[in-house]
Structure 1
Amino acid sequence: MRVKCVLCDNVEKIESFSLEAKQLRKRRKQTYLCPNCYERIGKQIVEKKSRN
């Protein structure tokens, strides 16, 4: 299954029978983030929480 990251518009291929692919097919409004963007956003959230 081909998916597109909503932040960087990078097109990647994931296994069609993986749990992530199933969830994306079932809930169309759920968005896909590539591993790089997911990690970057995760770091920003941790930094933001540590400031408070």
Structure 2
Amino acid sequence: MITVEQLIQKLEALHEDTDDQSLEVAVDMFKRMRRNISDRNTLYGYLSDDKWRDLEW
């Protein structure tokens, strides 16, 4: 199983290689949410509630 920290590192490395803006948004989102992710349902519930739309990027 991969940890959130490992996922962030992999996405950051991929972002450096591709300069894809969507990866930058994903990395920022995971960094902001990493303390609140205790299981898979936390992320699913957060995204399905549309609260992510109000985040300041």
Instruction: Determine which structure has more spread, i.e. the larger CA radius of gyration.
Output: 1
Q: TM-score, normalised by structure 1?
A: 0.32
More helix by share: 2
Structure (1 or 2) with the greater strand fraction: 1
- TM-score (structure 2 length as normaliser): 0.29
